[in-house]
Amino acid sequence: MTGVVPIRKNAPERGLVINGDLRTFDVAQFLQFLASSRVTGTFWAWSQPHGLYMSFEQGKIVAVMQSDEDLEHAENEDDLMSRAGQLVSLLMTWSEGQFGFSELKAAVSKPDCARVEVERVLLNAAWLLDETSRGMAG
C-alpha cells in the first residue's frame, strides 16, 4: 500500500504501529487489510477538526467513537453496524489528514460484546454516501 509506513516500536508492549497520510491510501483497502490480517488493536484517523477510533479484535470491529465521545461497546450488532457505517462514511469523505493502527487496545471487549465484519461496515458506509449524494442531487 502506497504511503503506509510500518514502524516497529522498541517497547514490546506498544506493538506494531502503522501510520500514514490519508491522501496516499484507500480507506476501504486499508480496513480490509486489517480485517484479513485478523488484527487486534486500534485504528485511528484524524482530519481537523475530526478524529475517529475503531477498536478491532481478531479482525472484527468491536467499538467505534469520534474524538469527542467516550469509547463504548454497542449494545447489539445493529447499533455497532450503524455507528461504524456512519464513521467510515465520514472518513471516506476526508481528503487529507493522518491515520494509524496500533496493537494497543482502546477498548477491552467483553465475551458477549457485538462484533461486526469490516466488509459489512464498508457496504453500509458506501450506501450512506450514495444516499447522501442522491439527497444533494435531488
The grid coordinates listed for 24 are: 496516499
State the pLDDT at residue 15. Answer: 63
| Total of domains in the chain | 1
pTM of the complete model: 0.79
Query: Amino acid letter at 118?
Result: V
Burial of 17 (0-12, 13-18, 19+ CB in 10 A): middle
Radius of gyration, alpha carbons of the chain: 15
The count of other CB atoms within 10 Å of the CB of residue 1 is: 13
The domain of 23 spans 4-137
Assess contact for 1 and 25: CB atoms under 8 A: yes
pLDDT digits (tens, 9 = 90+) for 60-108: 999 998 887 766 667 789 999 999 999 999 999 998 999 999 987 655 5
Question: 3-state DSSP helix/strand/coil percent for the chain, to nearest 5?
Answer: 35, 30, 35
